[in-house]
Structure 1
Amino acid sequence: MKKWILLLVLLLSCQTTSSAARTLTAPPIPKERVAIVVLEKAQSKQEIQQALQPYKDLQLRRVFQEALYGFSVEGNPESIAKLAEEYEDVINVSPVTNYQIQAEEGVKIIGGEEVRGLFDNKNQRLTGKGVTVAVIDTGVDYTHPDLKGNYNGGHDLVDNDEDPMETLTLGSATVHGTHVAGIIAANGKIKGVAPEAKIRAYRALGPGGGGTTEQVIAAIEEAMKDNVDIMNLSLGNNVNGPDLPISLALNRAVEKGIVAVAAAGNSGPSIWSVGSPGTASKSISVGASTPAMEIPYILIEGMSKKTRIEPLAGSPSWALDRSLLLADGGMGTKGDVKNVAGKIVLIERGKYTFTEKAKNAQDAGAKAVIIYNNLSGGFSGNLELPLEIPVASVTKEEGEKLKKKVGKSIRTEIAMEKDQLADFSSRGPVTDTWEVKPDIVAPGVSVNSTIPGGYLSLQGTSMAAPHVAGACALILQAHPDWTPEQIKAALMNTARPLVKESSKSDHYRTYEQGAGRIRVDAAIKTESLVTPSSIKFGKFAGETDEHKAFLQVENISKKKQHYTFDIPKQTDGLTWHFPLSFTLDPGESREVKVELSVDPSLLKGKIHDGYLNLRAGKTEIKIPYLYVLEEPNYPRVMGFDFKAADKPGNYRYEVYLPGGADEFGIALFHPDDYRFIDYLDSGENIKKGLITKELEAEHLPPSGVYLAKVFAKKAGKEDFIETMIVIEEREGP
């Protein structure tokens, strides 16, 4: 099969929408043929089938009764649109969306070792015993020696059977679900957060780690039927919206008494980058923090400023004992790295995997590898095989600076760093509801866990979320009568807000880290609970902008507790009103009101956030809050970039839609006569935020030069970017 590579040249003169000399007219975008229909109330399969009789070309696929009320259908897009208009009790009709996986030191960081010395009311050590956690993922290798004792069955929603084994087929094999399960409950060579919790596996993501809305909702539905206690979803997409079907399903699960934990996503550090289901209001959305890490810096001959490099997960230590010369390794092919023996090799990202590039350099005698991004910003990654030389990443900008220093001498320095927000961790807030998300963060960098056939270090919010799911299992064993809302409050009320390393005193924003990094030992021993555990004051509403929030403060200790709110630091344009100090008896609770008045003429900045501090005796409870003065007013589409992906033959693009889009597309035209050829990609009802997508080689057009129109339509307005795309035949490594 022929393989192709896409090269992108941006036309800087065509970055606006108003001055094009000719018009590129694209036909209507292709419509999705499968949709999720969400209903106000439950209907039986027979009732739905009867209601669908007038729509002869629509086929009923699944009926949902637990995760949400509704069903999925397949058929003519026009009939689906007609169904949305005519079917009674419809809340919304959503096209099926694709979801992807969001790729022992962490147990110590979150207080897991301290918990080993605590006991439940049956005088049993806190290990998660008696608690069942659903892992909705790529499946689980239940034969792994560290997991087989805790495996408690499951379902396969991809192949529709009762065997949720990971995909083991060469070329499309998965490891993700097994890795997640090990972080939660491994009990062998390595120990998970809750090593005696039961794991039920729900395979909703198939070969390669991809799945659909329908499969994930079906998995949530099965987990609810199985009466699990906790569900972990280390998966997601880049759609920042609170009302997607999966987010609604997670909210329903929480209402039914199940703790729902979801990864926030790996699209940081941009604001608005949190994705569904990490946007679900009632779930615990988890971002990623760093464990105690040796962070390498490089110093280049002739430059005074140190450059931080990001070790790839699985890389050997960067503690090099001597200065080495920097060599240009091109794209990392064997031909590119012929003359790198004894040197540090600089390689551009793209075309081939990180492991392939580094292995070629290692075989050529290199001492270390630095891979620089081919898109703006930085990246994190994983090595698929153990290597003997260290491998790290830098941003595109840093890589281009380093390229000018080829032939110069480089030495490395190591600094210890702990409890920082991972650069890749997705940020909030949530669009439309203006909620603080993620809710909390947990270790998600260089996390060692189980995979089929062994162990591997991976990173991502996918690894952070199961730390929280395991923590919830410990809390639930200690407090079996607590509700999901109380468990979430315990984690958030006792979390430690992270401070930027560069400042020592400047916290990350609340919509970046939520309440902070979890401390499960403190959560188990907390004597007070405050719900909700974060406050959304909403968006500016008018000249007299007054906002109220009601908090439930509960004394769960065996002694009286005195409560007092600290007055926040003075901010021009904001006036706070807090309740007077009060005392609660053991077991007593009280609703209190917090008021915020806003003068927009004095308040600076479009988003204001921070922490309210409630003193409960000698303990401080920090409550994150957020207020939006003005939603950013950007063009409908911006920041488009397209580069070769890491897997040979695949390519990825990024585009930012600040206001979302009713229709989005990448239309290809002949550059000479502007005739339309085909869509490279398209979609409807796209939520605001960053879109990142990888395209398979077989879905690309033939080699040649194309003019691409990247457009977004919203509320009758269309903005677009024009770029030239050159498709060339790809050579082997």
Structure 2
Amino acid sequence: MKNKKRGMAMVASSVLAVSLFSFSTSIHTSAKTQTVSSQAVSKNYLIAYKQSLPKDYQTEIKNAGGVVVKAIPELGAVEVRSTNPDFLTKLNTTSIAAANIEKSFKLENGNPEGADGKPVALTPDSNGTYWSSQWDIRHLTNEGKSYAVESGGTKTTSGVKHKAVVGIIDSGIDADHPDLKANFIGGTNFVPKGGYYRDVPEEMGNPKDVTDTNGHGTHVAGSIAGNGKVKGVGPDLGIRAYRIFDANGSAPTAPIVDAIVQAANDGVDVINMSIGGFDSLKYYYGGTRYSDIADVLLWKRAVQYAVNKNVTVVASAGNESLNYADKKSLTDYMNASYADLGIRFSGVTIEVPGSTPGVINVSSSNKWSSNNLAFYSNYGNGFIDVAAPGGDNGPVYASTLDLNQRDFTYRALSTWPRYLDAYFTMQKNQGYAYLHGTSMAAPKVAGIAGVIKAAHPNYTPSQVEALIEKTALDYGKPGHDELYGSGEANAFTALTGK
């Protein structure tokens, strides 16, 4: 496989969603965990009960030295905080299926290198839009022809009547962005006051405040339902924002799976999760054996809950350039990534949520090749369902790996919060940015799923996925392959069969 340079993934300086293993402590500075000897170490735990939550679960947790942070009864799940180092061993395990230290995910906002490519100055087309710069959406929609078949909604005298809604579990949204405002229909903030680790004072804990403090969620939203200077796959789809990343870019598992439940209960048709990380079924820290079994179990329950409510779930495959079918390489990657924390991984490594049953897992294709994925994209037989354009740095960079040869116009152009600083790919903040990553690929598939649901409201998630895969462009090796899965998803072919 060409252009699989794992070390370049973070040098690319895109917004990439990756897993961050951390033991939460009582005091944090920025995004780094620090332990203060005068205070007891606090850890967050996930508990998955065998069935529903027992009537006395709060008493049992209290007796073991824990405090309930969040209960998710739909999943039989509880998030707990405890300073008791023996908390797990003191639990009454009769009714518990699994319990483990909670994992945390981190939005990585890469800093530009000194040798970075030149920022882009956006020049509008003659009609005032940036359509000519949206190579990815133009390709997916056959130069916009799919919009005439299904745009996701219909115009009315009072606005847009959305025929399908996509829930975006991410960093929030610039809800007043002119390209998104007409399609935004609400959302929920899961970030508590002070952030997850009480180190983000600007977090007020308002459940209605889905303001995007990172930019990632707004960019994803534009690829799904932008309708202005940039277009999404379904420019009339409704979008709901579920903010799970705090201003430091952190998000434990519990609020993410809770957001899946909430989105399903809200009646969305599709969920997009441009997030991902790794769970391990066996690792050692300080000589003690741990496992992420509860984490894996709750991902499965949450996705199944959504599917049972007729929700199609889409996720990004990740940006570590790893072959998921090579299990040893995954364990080696984990050990190399977390060696400085004294953690040793020896069990099976599982990517979540992409590999979770019921999820459409998306790898990242690019503009210039139908045989090579974007250099950062994860891949693997049995792991990838379909690919979609997530962008990269262009063919010159691919052949030279010269940082000066990066062409940002090969990345994906979409909406960016107008109140944030310009992303480094742009000369100034015009409300748009070029990003790349599987985070940019997944929302294209979520948008395709959305317009399919708009056209066929009775389709089940399995029918939506089957149509996406059947009509995907057969890139790479003929048939299903390790890079593209069933092929590169396409809105026009999905809606027309052509």
**TM-score interval, normalised by the smaller of the two chains:** 0.5 to 0.7
Matches within 5 A, 1:637-676: none
Specify which structure has the higher proportion of helix: 2
5+ unaligned residues in a row in structure 2: which ranges?
Answer: 1-39, 110-133, 193-204, 282-292, 331-349, 392-410, 419-430
One-letter amino acid matched to 1:443: P
SS in 1 for 2:236: coil
Q: Give the partner amino acid of 1:106.
A: D
Alpha-carbon offset, residue 450 of structure 1: 0.5
1:285 aligns with 2:364: no
Distance 1:143 1:116 in 2: 23
Give the C-alpha shift of residue 263 in structure 1.
Answer: 0.6
1:101-180 equivalences under 5 Å are 101=107, 104-111=134-141, 113-118=144-149, 129-159=162-192, 160=205, 161-167=207-213, 174-180=214-220
Matches within 5 A, 1:401-550: 417-418=369-370, 420-428=372-380, 436-445=382-391, 446-453=411-418, 454-499=431-476, 506=477, 510-526=481-497
2:356 aligned counterpart, secondary structure: coil
Instruction: Check whether the contact 1:129–1:197 (CA below 8 A) recurs between aligned residues.
Output: yes
* Number of positions where the alignment pairs a residue of Structure 1 with one of Structure 2: 350
- For residues 55-70 of structure 1, the aligned pairs below 5 Å read 55=64, 57-66=65-74, 68-70=75-77
When residues 185 and 437 of structure 1 are mapped into structure 2, their CA distance, relative to the original with a 3 A threshold, is: same
> How far did residue 54 of structure 1 move?
3.1
* Equivalent position amino acid for 1:142 in 2: A
Q: Are 1:267 and 2:320 counterparts?
A: yes
Q: What's the counterpart of residue 183 of structure 1?
A: 223
Contact 1:259/1:283 (8 A) holds in 2: yes
Q: 2:58 aligns with which of 49, 64, 75?
A: 49
Unpaired runs of at least 5, structure 1: 1-29, 168-173, 294-416, 430-435, 500-505, 527-618, 620-733
Between 1 and 2, higher relative CO (CA 8 Å, sep ≥ 6) is seen in: 2
TM-superposed deviation, 1:74: 1.3
Identity of counterpart residues, as a percentage?
Answer: 31
Match of 2:239 among 199, 203, 214: 199
CA 1:122–1:456: 2 relative to 1, 3 Å: closer
The 3-state SS of whatever aligns with 1:166 is coil
SS in 2 for 1:465: helix
TM-superposed CA distance for 1:129, in Å, is: 3.0
Secondary structure of 1:449's partner?
Answer: strand
1:285 partner letter: N
- Pair 1:177–1:48, CA change in 2 (3 A): same
| C-alpha distance 79-470 of structure 1, shift in aligned 2 (>3 A) | same
Counterpart of 1:466, as a letter, is: P
Q: Cα distance 1:32–1:518, how it changes in 2: closer, same or farther (>3 A)?
A: farther
> 2:100 is paired with a residue of what secondary structure?
strand
Larger Rg: 1
CA deviations 1:240-259 (Å, max 9, x no partner) are 78935334422321122111
Q: 1:119 Cα shift?
A: 5.2
Matched, 1:73 2:38: no
Give, in angstroms, the shift of residue 419 of structure 1: 6.3
Question: Aligned-residue CA RMSD in angstroms?
Answer: 2.9
Aligned partner letter, 1:146? D
Task: State the partner residue of 1:36.
Answer: 46
Give the equivalent residue in structure 1 for 2:305: 252
User: Structure 1 or 2: larger strand share?
Assistant: 1
Residue pair 1:38, 1:71 contacting (<8 A) in 2 also: yes
Displacement of 1:155 in angstroms is: 1.2
Q: Say whether the 8 Å CA contact 2:151–2:237 is kept in structure 1.
A: no
Residue in 2 aligned with 1:606?
none
Match of 2:47, SS? strand
- SS of the counterpart of 2:182? coil
How far apart in 2 are the matches of 1:228 and 1:184? 14
Tell me the TM-score normalized by structure 2.
Answer: 0.65
- Mapped partners of 2:454, 2:358: distance in 1: 21
**1:226 maps to 2:266:** yes
Are residues 120 and 207 of structure 1, via their aligned partners in 2, closer, same or farther at CA, if it must alter by over 3 Å? Answer: closer
User: What is aligned with 1:96?
Assistant: 102
